Structure formats: structure tokens, C-alpha cells
Structure 1
Amino acid sequence: HYWMVWWGKQPFESYQEAIPRFMSEFGFQSFPDITTVKRYTEEEDWSIYSEVMQSHQRSSIGNVTIAEYMERDYRDPKNFEMFLYVNHVLQAEGIKMGIEGHRKAMPYCMGSLYWQLNDVWPVASWSGMDYFGRWKALHYFVRDAFQEVAVMPDVAGDQLAVTVVSDRWEEIPAKIRLRALDFAGQVLGTVDVDYTIPANTSAVATELPLSDLGLVDLPNQQAQVVIAVEVLDAKGALLADNLKYLVKPKDLDLPEVSAELSVTMEEPGKATLTLTASTLAKHVYLQTSVPGHFSDNYFDLLPGETATVSFQTTAPVADTESSLSFSVVSLVDSYEK
């Protein structure tokens, strides 16, 4: 067990250092989705320090600990709903950091169990799904972090190291594609590296100075750039991808986002959403009032790229025909400008 994150108030980065042979338990809390919270609150209760919200928190340090960690990494959310959204992102990014730390340490560390999957009542907890089965950001992030092939970029000073982890039993001829781009979509530099992924292990695939990606003025660039890493197989198919930002989320100079969303009804109760944006949209959060499941959510949409997400309702189809509409939020919408 490792609870120095949460109970010990250590930063999430300590997950990269406190590596066991097998991680049997670690975690971080979040509140349920706002739709779930509305089931047990009135609007007058919309504060994490209200009697109702504290009654739905059974950790003795819970709400203040969430707020403390959020203040370290994120800007102050502008309202209660945005607090819940940022809390989901905070939890997901933290646990993702832990999973990546454990997988990078393979074969020294050969297992990682996070706490926890779901809830037995609607409550603030360490879960990735709330009581009603609604996926928090954590569940999406964990699904992706445990993909069979994963890539993890790390930056130390002006150097970039890229680790590739594979659970496959055979070697994989691959190409690693690195791009640095600003939040308006300008590509500052691109590097391709041919690499054979070793079977069933973790290895540093490449190391290079950030200047090779056009990052030659870090003090003035770091708040406005992202490094995109893709691992492609011999046929050019995507095996794994990841993003690396150079400063904390609260220090990012995020642009306003004007997202274009189109919705296609594939059949009653099932929709395909296509989303594009001309600038970076960080942690895109898709919402609808109709009960259902998004195939992806809380993802980063790079400028000029397209995301396709499916939505399947879990409500009776007749109840959704006239009410199936969607809204889009990203991190820049969570705080006052």
C-alpha cells in the first residue's frame, strides 16, 4: 500500500519514486458527477463544506485534502460544477501518473492495483465510477494507461526521454513520432525515430534535447506548447500515444476554445459526436442530461484535429428522442479569465 499521496499529502510526483515490486493499493478521491450530486443536494448545498456534502464524505481529511491538491496544480474553479469537473481531472491525472510510474519500472514492478472501481452509495470516494455507474475521468484514464502498449514522455531540464512499455510477448517494429506544437496548432518541430519495441518489458526508446523539437526558448515557450508522442506500427497504425506539457495546468496559457460539434444519430438512442477546434481544447468534457455512456471523455483535443466519440443512452429510447443534446466544456472554461 502507498498512501503518502492523500493521507501523507505528498505530491503526485512521488508516485514516480515510491516504486514497489507490486503496488497493492493507492488512490485519490473525487466527488461524483454533478448529475449524481443533484440527486442528493439542493443548489443551496453546492459547497464542499455544506452539511450535505460533508455528510457524503467519509474520509476524515477528505474535502480539505481535495481542495489542497487542487490548489497546487489548478486554477480556482469559478463555481461548484466546475469544482467537481476539475476534481475529476485532478484525480485522473494523479492516478495516471502512478500507473505510468509503476509500468515504467517493469520488470521490477509487475503489478498496480488502484483504489477503487465503484461505489456502494453516492459519495465522495476514491472510485472511477460513481454509484449510478457514471464514469469519472479516472475510469477513462485508467483504461488508456493500462493499454497493452503504452508510451510515457518525461522531461528533465531541457532533455526529453520517451519510455515505451509493452505487455506483448513478441517484438514490435515501430516508429516513434514526436511533435512539439503551440496551442494554436503551429508545429515547432518533428522527430521520427525507428524503434523495435522489446517483448514484455519497459525500455527508454529515445532521448533527445528539447531543442531538436524547436523548443529553444523554454522560459517563453513552456506555458504555450505541448509535446505529442505517437507510437506507430510498421503499417502506420497507432499503437499508443501520449501528451507532455511542460508546466502545471494552472500555469498553462490556455487559449479560448471555439469547438465545433456535430451530432449524427446512428439509431434510436445512439449518437456519433464529431468535435474539432482550431486551438487546444484541454480535458474536453462532454455532457448530456440523458443517462448514457460516452466512449471517451475528458480528453485533450489538439488544434486542427478531430475527435469522434460515440454515445449510447441507457434510458428508454422514447424518452430521449426529443431531449438528446450535448454540451462541451474544457479546462479553460473552468476558471475566471
Structure 2
Amino acid sequence: MTSYRPLHDGWALSGGDVDSVAATVPGCVHTDLLAAGLIDDPYLDENEQKLAWIGRTDWVYETVFSHEPGADRTDLVCAGLDTVATVVLNGVELGRTANQHRGYRFDVRAVLRAGENQLRIHFASAYSYAEAQRDRLGDRPNAYPEPFNFIRKSACNFGWDWGPTLVTAGIWQEIGLQSWSVARLAEVRPQVTVAGDTGSVEVRVRLDRAAAGPVTLVATVAGERVETTTEGDEAVLSLTVRDPELWWPAGYGAQPRYDVDVTLSGPDGELDSWRRKVGFRSVRVDTTADADGSAFTLLVNDVPVFVRGVNWIPDDVFANRVTRERLAARFAQALGANVNYLRVWGGGRYESEDFYDLADELGLMVGQDFLFACAAYPEEEPFATELAAEAREQVVRLASHPSLMMWTGNNENIWGHEDWDWKAALGDKSWGAGYYFELLPRIVAAEDPSRPYWPGSPYSGRDDKHPNDPAYGTMHIWDVWNTDDYTMYREYRPRFVAEFGYQAPPAYATLRRALSDDPLTHDSPGMRAHQKAQDGDAKLQRGLDAHLPAPRDFDDWHYLTQLNQARALSLGIEHFRSLRPLCMGAIMWQLNDCWPVTSWAAVDGDGRRKPLWYALRRSFAPRLLTVQPRDGGLALVAVNDSGEPWPVSAAVSRRTLSGLVLAEVTLDATVAPGSATTLPLPAEVATAADPTQEVLVATAPEQRAWWFFAEDKDIAWPPAKFDAVFEAVGADARVQITAHHILRDLTLSPDRLDPAAETDDSGVTLLPGESATFIVRGGAGLEPTALSTRPVLRCVNDLA
């Protein structure tokens, strides 16, 4: 019987001026040096800038282990080595690796000793390797002055416009000894399909053999069993399941899964076994041409699904710190914001089994990029061979997960080749086209034919169209943020938006944990070190200038920039959703952060929800009321992503800021499942006599939509007058605010008083006389007056 023994204990790390320190495996150099007290925390203050030497140093991991021989074969199994490694056992070189994104296996029968063995893994500097490849093959354009496109390693390790430059090395995934006899299950790939009331599981098996002869394979699922005997290295076992329960995305149905069990037996009994949960569902992308271009609609079990998505980056620079529990918390935040889709971005990692198992369990759809981002990539050796092995391994590993909806060839490289002045710089050098249009689709077609592949994000799907054409395929919108105001989102009529976003700083408690700046200002040294976007602060200021009163101090700046981020994404998302079915996806950039930083994230690097998160929860709600400009006027749009008809009766009124109703209308409609209904508003409601003194509000059960006729900076907001009532409820606090005047975007930030405290709502606008109740988790011991005054409780009226 196959046995596996982890080799995770007794490791030591050395390199550079570091003689020897204890090492954690799986792990990396940075976390080991941090644990040893040899470096300062790179996430704090300006420490990151002091640690560039780590990525330019060679490192050695060593351990000693005992072994008792017995099996026919023993392999050293390395699930992930980061990145340029030479593996030596008992003084014998087993092999060399140069790819973080794939595993390696070494036959160590002839090298292992009975008793004590020494394993040594030398990691050469990733910089030295990448720069040598660049010099050999010729430079190629990329988005940052780093050689990340010349090494198969997470691109964002070399820094990004939201991430630190912390170039890691180490044994970043499992390592151990696998002992086996006769044969083992080298690869098991169940291809699951469903047609009508019949589910099929085609189990493809590849064997490694230590001896010739017949072996028996048995596969079972849902009470069905099939057996075959083979003397070869490959076999296919086909099972049929009648009336399987279908796996559905969250909000569309349940997520039943079935165990697939595979056993391998020889003449003397069982040799190996394998188990994986699978789900029965179909997935395809409709790209039918129409009068507006061509669709890009995801269908699950033949039901069109509007993708309410977020982009996902590695949740920590150091992968060993991303536990299943941490992923579960982040997924709960995604689902809590009414997200149904995670796009795993191509500059990070192929995500873990925990990631995909949780997504399967919770019904979160996933799109996985192959790992290419914002650069021209060489197609010469050794990269061509490495890429083929990497892609095949990852496709086979992930293909059985029902949550995985599609593979995408790269992030922004086809667009970059077209628009970012690459062609002159490249000349006749390769840039990755062979991967995206030939190698990767060929591998997906062979190993995962039931799932769609799309060459890039963005990509129009046609050679005769620009790769970022809104009318075709997928697009990214980055002129908003980089050059244009966020109201520009309304100028687009896209079929599917795979990236768009707007920046803001993290929560105040996150800043204060990470930065010792005194005073803390938007351009103090630590804040500058944690703002990675080019001209990021200037772009934040441009957004404030367009919409909001001028901040008087850092507290104002922090509140207003977070508010502007929330408003920008809400405007974009609600516009895109209002276009349904023309537009069938909006994937905002980004859900999460990997460290404390000013960024586009809704959840900051300490896991705290920014005001944007609450805005996503409203704008991504399965049923949405939104006011949109239409044909020179305004319309109320009701969007229904649920599976049931939605009877809407909305009272729409134009009011003065003091609450006086100037005009009112009631609109009724029944919105069919998976559709949007547009209800034009009459001119007397939709047209303001004095835009600076009037507001439009639409109200229906559990729904409210606003339209302000002027920018906040041009409105004479009344003073922020309200009554506040505090009540302790167990460990929590209930804070009720009753408005004397209209209160615009009321936001509570209890983390300013206790880093562990958080509120259940944010960005609430109240008409005169209305009340809102905030539940502050962990807030029972907080001082009531502090909870209801600036800077903890804020609204735009504060700045009047």
C-alpha cells in the first residue's frame, strides 16, 4: 500500500550573512527570518524597502531524517519549490527546478540510506536567474521595471501597484517521501458532465509502475461501480448516474457533491487509493453575435447567470500564512457582499485545494487565469516546456471542481501587445501569443474539455476587433481611475467587464497598526510607502475635487476617499447591471489585499471591511433598484437576479433637502427572473428646479435608490444634527441615529476606538425624521459619546 511521510520537521535555513536559523516548512525565507528576529516586519512602516537583499541572496534549506527501506520504490515529492532550486540528498544531486507553479518528484531508491539521511535544497536568487534569462533572450516589455516575465514565479512577488516587492524563496508547499510497490495512481482526472437527467463521470487514470503485470482499478460514485484490469499505464473508467442532484452557484440552488473513489489493487491487495468530491453541472459561455456585437454570457445548467464578481489576488505575500480558516473568512465576506464569482488573477498563484474546496462547498463560481500578467513572455526554452508541464498539471488538478467555471489565458497581455507600445520594442521576438492561442487551448481541450477557455482578459474573441472592444467579449475599464472621473462608467455599454476599480486607504485601525507615522497624514512617510499606484494620491485628490467638499485634515481625507471609492464602484456596478441582458458580468477590482496598503480592495490587508464592502452588498444585491439616466431623462431600473418573479411597487419622489415632497409617482412592475425592467420617470419627478436643494428617492419594500441632482461640493448641506441612543446588547452595542436634517452617507468606524470592533452597515443616507440602527460587534464597552461623534461617526454634512 502506498504511504506518505511528510518531511516538515528539523529544517534549518542559511544564506548570505545568516549562518543557520530554524526554518518552517512549508514556508519561506522572509517568515523564517522574521521569526528569528533577524528582520523587521516588512508589512510595517517603510521596512519593505530595507529587505530587497533577500531576493538577491542564495539560500539553503537543510534537514536530517531517518528512513527504513521496505517498498519497491520511494520518491521525494516536492509539491512546490520557490523557485530556482537544486535538490541534493546525501550529497547526490537529484535535480534542478525553476518553476514555482508545478510539483516535482524524484526517485530516491538508489540514494536513500537505512538510518540517517541529509536533504539539502539550494535556492538560487530569483533575480539572478530571471535577469540571466532576460539577457540571454532579449528584454521584453512589462508593466514594471522588474524581470518577473523571465521566471515562472508569482509576478506580484516583484511588486505591483498594490503589492510590496518581497521576492521570496523556500519550500512553499508540502514535501515528503512517498513509498510504494508495483504501481501507484500518478494521476486521476474525473471529467464530470450532465445531459438531461443523466450524469456521467469519466475517470481517466495514469499509473506509475515499479513492476509489470496486471492491476485492477475500481471507481465508484453515487452507488455506481465500475472495474477494469490493465497491464498498461493508462485507463478510463466510465460511470453513469441517473437523476443526479445538480450543483448550482450560490443564489441559484444547492451545492450537492458526490464522492468519487478510485482504488488500485494488485495480486496481493490494495496498492493505492484516491478520493475527490465532484458536482454535476454544465457550464458554457454564449458568444453569439447580435446587433450590439457579440454576447459574453455565462450559463450554468443552461441558466444565464449575471456574474457579480470580484478579482482575487493572493491573500498574503507569504503563502504559508493563508490558512483554510482565513480563506473561509474571506469567502464569507465575499458572499456577504452578494458576490457570486471570484476571478483568480494571472499575476498571483493557482489557488489551493482549500480555496477550491471551499468554493465548491459554498457555491462561489471561480475563473482561473493562467499565470501571465501585464508583460510580454518569452516562448523559447526552457519556458515552453515548463509552461506546458505547469499548465497540464494545474488543469488536471483543478478540473474536477464544480466551482471552476472557465480558464483564461492571461491578464492584459493581448491588450498590452495591441495598445501599450510593445510592438516596436519586441520586433520579431516572441511575446506569449503561442501560449494563449495554441498551447493553452490545446491543453484545456485535451484535459478539461467540458469547461470553456478564453485567450485573455480582456479579449474580444475576434481578430478583426480590438481586444478591449466593449461590444465584444470581455473588457477592462481603467481610463476611469487613471484619467477619467468615475461617472465615465456610464459612457460604456459593455458585454462583460472583467476589471474596473477605484482606490481608497484601508481602515484606520489597519493604518495605525502598520504605520508609526506621527502625525499620520495622507503623504507622511509610511503612507507614501504603502501607496504603490503611480500618482495614486493625485488621482485620489482628482476624484475628491470632482465630487466632495475639500478635506480639512487627515480624518476628513480618510473618510472622503473611502466614501468616493464606494460611490465609484456602486455607480459602475449599478450601471452595468441596469444594462442586463446586454451586459452580463461585472467583476470589480478587487476583493482583498495581501498587506496593509492604499488600494482598490473592498477588504483591507488586515481583513477589515472598507465602506466599499457595504456598497457592494447593496449594489450586488440579487434584487436591485437603481436610478439611471436614460434618453435625456431619468429612469428607475429594477434588476432581478433571483429565480422568482419580483413584483415591484416603488414610490418615487422629488424632495427638498428639508424633506418637502415636490412631486411624487408610484411605479408598478413585475420583473421576470433573470431580467431588468426600465421604468421611465416623468419629468416632474426627474427634473429639479434647484439641483443644489433637491433630491430624488425611490422606495420599495427593502429597497431604496437615490439620485442627487448636484455634487456634494455644490450642495449647501444642513448641519449634521441628530439624536443618538446607545444600548449595550451582550458584547455588542446598538447605536440608533435619528436625523433632524437629511444626513448624507452616515458612516460609523468603531475600529477607531477598538481595532476588533466592526459595524453591520455603512454609508446610510437618512431623510429628516428617519432613523438607522447600527450594530457594533464587540462594542458594548465603547464610550457612547465617542461612538456618535467625529471622527468615529461621519457624514458629508460634517464638512458643510
**TM-score class normalised by the smaller sequence:** 0.7 to 0.9
Q: Post-superposition shift, 1:171? A: 2.4
Answer yes or no: is the 8 Å Cα contact 1:45–1:52 preserved in 2.
Answer: no
- 1:300 matched to 2:762? The reply is no
Q: For the residues of structure 1 that align with 2:748 and 2:796, how far apart are their CA atoms?
A: 12
- CA distance, structure 1, for counterparts of residue 723 and residue 694 of structure 2: 22
Residues 14 and 120 from structure 1, CA distance in 2 versus in 1: closer, same or farther, beyond 3 angstroms? Answer: same
Tell whether 2:710 aligns with 1:247.
Answer: yes
Q: What's the CA shift for 1:158?
A: 7.7
Residue 71 of structure 1: SS of its match in structure 2? helix
Q: Deviations over 1:26-75 (max 9, x none)?
A: 11110112222222344644332222211011112211111111111111
**Corresponding residue SS for 2:514:** coil
Q: Which among 672, 675, 686 is matched to residue 198 of structure 1? A: 672
Residue 6 of structure 1 pairs with residue 468 of structure 2:
no
**1:279-322, Cα deviation, whole Å (9 max, x unpaired):** 011111213312222110121111111112211128xxxxx636
Contact 1:155 1:246 (C-alpha < 8 Å) held by counterparts: no
Distance 1:156 1:249 in 2: 22
Q: Are 1:225 and 2:688 matched, yes or no?
A: no
SS at match of 1:36: helix
Return 10-19 or 241-250, whichever deviates more: 10-19
Structure 1 distance, partners of 2:618, 2:757, is 20
Separation in 2, partners of 1:38, 1:28: 22
The yes-or-no answer on 1:331 pairing with 2:800 is no
Residue 111 of structure 1: how far off its partner (Å):
1.1
C-alpha separation in 2, matches of 1:131 and 1:301: 31
Aligned to 1:170: 644
Quote the Cα distance in structure 2 between the aligned partners of 1:253 and 1:133. Answer: 36
What does residue 725 of structure 2 align with? Answer: 262
Q: How does 1:94-113 map to 2 (within 5 A)?
A: 94-113=568-587
Q: Answer yes or no: is the 8 Å Cα contact 1:149–1:239 preserved in 2.
A: no
1:108-123 matches, cutoff 5 A = 108-123=582-597
Tell me the TM-score normalized by structure 2.
Answer: 0.38
Cα separation, 1, equivalents of 2:760 and 2:605: 19
Larger Rg: 2
1:274 and 2:736 aligned: yes
Q: 1:112 aligns to what SS in structure 2?
A: strand
- Mapped contact 1:286–1:329 kept (Cα < 8 A): yes
Question: Tell me, what secondary structure is at the counterpart of 1:24?
Answer: strand
The counterpart of 1:321, out of the listed 757, 766, 781, is: 781
Q: What is the rounded CA distance, in whole Å, between the counterparts of 1:169 and 1:35 in structure 2?
A: 40
1:159–1:49 distance in 2 versus 1, CA, 3 Å: same
Secondary structure of 1:203's match? strand
What SS does the aligned partner of 2:566 have? helix
Q: Which residues in structure 2 correspond to 1:85-164 (within 5 Å)?
A: 85-155=559-629, 159-164=633-638
Cα separation, 1, equivalents of 2:496 and 2:562: 26
- CA contact 2:663–2:685 (8 Å) conserved in 1: yes
8 Å contact kept, 1:34–1:81? no
The residue type paired with residue 222 of structure 1 is: P
Residues 285 and 191 of structure 1: CA distance in aligned 2, closer, same or farther (over 3 Å) = same
Q: After superposition, what is the alpha-carbon deviation per residue over 1:258-299, rounded to whole angstroms, capped at 9, x for unaligned? A: 1111112121x2122211011011111213312222110121
What is the identity, as a one-letter code, of the residue corresponding to 1:274? Q
For residues 777 and 717 of structure 2, what CA distance do their matches in structure 1 show?
A: 31
**Quick check: 2:650–2:666 contact (8 Å CA) kept in 1?**
yes
Which segments of structure 1 move beyond 4 Å, counting only runs of 4 or more? 155-158, 322-325
Q: Is this contact kept in 2: 1:162–1:205, CA < 8 A?
A: yes
Which fold has the larger relative contact order, with Cα–Cα distance below 8 Å and residues 6 or more apart in sequence? Answer: 1
**Which residue of the partner structure matches residue 207 of structure 2?**
none
Alignment partner, residue 777 of structure 2 = 312
Alignment of 1:32-43 (within 5 A): 32-42=506-516
Letter paired with 2:781: E
| In structure 2, distance between residues paired with 1:226 and 1:14 | 22
Amino acid across the alignment from 1:273: V
Quick one: structure 1 residues 54 and 37, their matched pair in 2 at CA, closer, same or farther if it must change by over 3 Å? Answer: same
Cα deviation code 1:159-188 (max 9, x no counterpart): 331111111233222212112222222222
What letter matches 1:226 in structure 2?
Answer: V
1:322 to 1:196, Cα distance in 2 relative to 1, 3 A:
closer
Matching of residue 81 in structure 1 with residue 555 in structure 2: yes
Deviation at 1:122, TM superposition (A): 1.1
Shift in Å, 1:157: 9.2
200-209 or 250-259: bigger deviation: 200-209
- Structure 1 equivalent of residue 400 of structure 2: none
Corresponding residue of 2:459: none
In structure 2, what is the Cα distance between the partners aligned to 1:322 and 1:48? 27
SS of equivalent to 1:87: helix
Partner letter of residue 728 of structure 2?
M
Counterpart contact for 1:184–1:278, Cα < 8 Å: no
Contact 1:180 1:189 in 2 (8 A): yes
1:232-272: CA deviation from partner (whole Å, max 9, x where unpaired): xxxxxx142211100112111110011111112121x2122
Instruction: Give 1:309's aligned amino acid.
Output: F
Counterpart-to-counterpart distance in 2, 1:165 and 1:188: 27
Aligned equivalents of 2:711, 2:630: Cα separation in 1: 14
Deviation, 1:85, is 0.3
Give the Cα–Cα distance (whole angstroms) in 2 for the partners of residues 301 and 61 of structure 1. 35
**Inter-partner Cα distance in structure 2 for 1:34 and 1:52:** 13
Unpaired runs of 5+ in structure 1? Answer: 232-237, 315-319
| More displaced stretch, 41-50 vs 110-119 | 41-50
Per-residue displacement from partner, 1:93-141 (whole Å, max 9, x unpaired)?
A: 0011110111011111111111111222111011112222222111000
Percent identical: 26
Check whether the contact 2:651–2:667 (CA below 8 A) recurs between aligned residues.
yes
Deviation at 1:229, TM superposition (A): 0.5
2:626 aligned partner, one-letter code: M
Total equivalences in the alignment:
317
Shift of the 32–208 alpha-carbon distance from structure 1 to 2, 3 Å rule, reads same
